[in-house]
Amino acid sequence: MSNKFDSIVIGSGPGGYVCAIRLAQNGHSVAIIEKNKNFGGTCLNVGCIPSKALLHASHVYEQSKNEYSKMGINVKPSINIKELLNYKEAMIKSNTDGISFLFKKNKIVSINGSAEIISNNSVKVTNGKNIDTYTASNIIIATGSTHNTIPGVDIDEKHIISSTGGLSLDRVPDNLLIIGAGYIGIELGSVWSRLGSKVTFVEAFDKILPNTDDECGEYLRKLLEKRGMKFILNTKVESVKKEKNALKINLINATDSSKSILTSDIVMQSVGRKPYVEGLGLDSIGLKLDKFHNIDVDKNFQTSEKNIYAIGDVINGPMLAHKAEEEGVAVADIICGKYGHVNYDVIPSVIYCDPEIASVGKTESDLKEEKIEYKVGKFPFIANGRAKVNNQTEGFVKILSDAETDKVHGIHIVGSDAGNLIGEAVLALEFGASSEDIARTCHAHPTLTESLKEAALDVDNMAIHK
């Protein structure tokens, strides 16, 4: 095997593997370096895919307990944690095997080991005692992110766990305290709550899901509280101490500095993520980082070394797999002399709880801050025929349109299958649609998508079923 390539990609997560494939499609000889045993990065191994497997399984379990009998289906479900985790692992393997197949199909050379960039066109790879050097005209950094830590909370992945540990608990804890009520915490908290844990969230902000539309986040919080989850807001965790039979969590209120103590069987830390750039040798080659340790890049994803590029979680922007994928395609096309572009104004976000929350575009807070006059159209799923027969009537669709031009600025959905429904909303914003454009588009009946049409009609108070 030659040690010289047109392009080397470091990291095989969603951004890296997609970038490698597009480079190969464009005619480049490509090597991809991955230090872990499986391809796919955080998303496929300890993020998106395993969490959705557990969310799906726990949702089916909860439905079988509480909903099936209403449809004449009588079952007595029970949980086998070992088999549940086996199912999760099978889903991971299915996806990582798929990437291996795509690499072979596109003649991409995969290299296992830890990468260090030693010059603007060479990478040293260490795998145990084996050290090799590879060269390329282009180097793309796509090493993703790792979980943040906070002082006083020492993760052991047994009692005090990260989100990775939250995917692999071998029993259902009686009590689970989650530090952070962002999307990762909410999703994993939903899994273990459905399976029987008493789940408590401690959040430093005065609301859950701080980056989500306020109305959507508050709606979900009230709903989850009705289901037994507890939220302690505006509060920070000072420390977590191991005692004989439990963990002692010391809290401090962010407003009045009052202190309190809780106990729990398991504590999961879920306070966001940070770029993973350790060991890459960025200092030695002079690559610049910002105060958040993001790699500085220009509009073409070029770093201060013009033939070294960076994409995904290691650069500024939302840490989302699909954002990284878009950047992977864009940078590959740019490197190959084609047009590559990512429209950051229409990157959707989805929180896979029940009901799901999906958003694209601006929130009401954004529009108020930017002093943009806007109109609001809302439609509840309880008035949608398909939602009724599915017995999933919680939530609503909200459309924010410009008060003068009617151009849609943002669409926010709380409801069953919101993650799939948001696709139409993304397309609408991508093509600069008005609410009237959506309202005048025929939607199949009976489908949940009719609620998008009705919300668009409601922008001008013309919804039919409201």
The string of DSSP codes covering 177-205 is EEE--SHHHHHHHHHHHHTT-EEEEE-SS
Taking Cα atoms as reference points, which of 140, 116, 174 lies closest to residue 7?
140
Phi and psi, residue 441, nearest 5° = -90, 130
C-alpha to C-alpha distance for 75 and 267, rounded to whole angstroms: 33
DSSP state of 294: P
Please name the residue that has the structure tokens 């505006």.
234
CA–CA gap between residue 52 and residue 45 (Å, rounded): 11
Catalytic residue among 28, 147, 445, 465: 445
What six digits make up the tokens of 177? 């305290």
In this structure, which long-range contacts are made by residues 456-461, counting pairs with CB atoms below 8 Å and at least 24 apart in sequence?
456/377, 456/399, 457/377, 457/379, 458/377, 458/378, 458/379, 458/399, 459/375, 459/376, 459/377, 459/399, 459/401, 459/406, 459/435, 460/375, 460/377, 460/435, 460/436
Asked whether 295 and 141 are in contact (CB, 8 A), the reply is: yes
Q: Count of alpha carbons within 13 Å of 263, Cβ hemisphere only?
A: 6
Distance CA 213, CA 291 (A): 27
Q: How far apart are CA 447 and CA 418, in angstroms?
A: 12
CA 410 to chain centre: 19
Nearest of 244, 164, 147, 190 to residue 176 by alpha carbon: 190
| Cβ neighbours of residue 443 closer than 8 Å, sequence gap 6 or more | 449, 450, 452, 453
Instruction: Report the half-sphere exposure of 212 (CA within 13 A, side-chain side).
Output: 27
Half-sphere exposure of 253 (CA within 13 A, CB side): 7
d(CA 433, CA 452): 13
As a dihedral over the C-alpha atoms of residue 206, residue 418, residue 222, residue 171, rounded to 10 degrees, the angle is -90
341 belongs to the catalytic site: no
Q: Which helix (H) or strand (E) holds 378?
A: strand 374-380
Catalytic residues: 445
